[in-house]
Amino acid sequence: MRRIRNKAFYFLILSFVFLFLAGRMHFGLDKKITVEEAAGINSSQAKLVHSSTILKEEVKTEKLSEQDLIATDSVAITRPVAVTHPGSEAEPPLSRGELNEEYYKVAKVVDGDTIDIIMNGQTERLRLIGINTPETVDPRKPVECFGREASDNAKKLLSGQEVRVEADASQEDRDKYGRLLRYVWRRDGLFYNLEAIKDGFAYEYTYQIPYQYQEDFKAAQKNAEENKLGLWADGACGEKNINSTNVSSSTKSSCVIKGNIGADNIKIYHLPECSYYKQTVVDESKGEKWFCSEAEAIAAGWRKAKNCP
């Protein structure tokens, strides 16, 4: 503080000298000022102005330094410093589309809704979420209608491709067979799960609880049905499967409930309004049956399909 006061006093003296010399020039107090004297005065004025500017800066710096010392005596002050490497600029945050996402090689297309990929150096089998295609590889079941077409379509779209996979928080990580439950995208952005339904090679499939893209998948199936695409085309699976009101000639026209036996010998019946009624085939040689009422089906040991309204 003492140093600041001394410099302030010195600044005031210089200011008075400056004003005195300026007054002499303006009011002509000297009888005669030569060119040399005028040049000397101008030089003195310039020096005074320069000294005054330096002094102001020093006083300002001293005040700031004193304030910093006072502040740091009572509180430790941390000032954030932005570190920038020479020649570089701060990068903007990455958007979702620019994130580094890992892609995996498709090792095998099992069928329309199941594929194998190479993940972390080993083969992982994926069961694709939200879709179901007619069976082609289950040794306990015959090849179902449009199963080969669905499988061939999957091979055309996915064989040899690299895919990005996505889990769904609403679903389990794996199914009871140990398969990862995932959605898959190709590198070019094709969303296979949706594409298979949209083109009529797969059905929308909800397993117990809704999933993330359920509305989109249901809308895609409705559009495929209305436009008779793929398995929804007239006669694609025979009149019995496409027209829910027609049944075999040996069955009464009023007995339209389909009793199906699943892969785990689970007995499930489907009503005409159920989502998978049209693609369900009753194979009486396997013990599957037609029922005339729900009560009859339940009494025989069948339960209602979960995708029925």
Cα 260 to Cα 142: distance, rounded to the nearest angstrom: 13
Of the candidates 135, 144, 149, 195, the residue annotated as catalytic is 135
* Annotation marks residue 79 as catalytic: no
Q: Annotated catalytic, 179?
A: yes
Catalytic entry in 124, 127, 144, 204: 127
Is 127 a catalytic site residue?
yes
Out of 164, 174, 179, 186, pick the active-site residue. Answer: 179
Give the residue numbers annotated as catalytic, written as ranges. 127, 135, 179
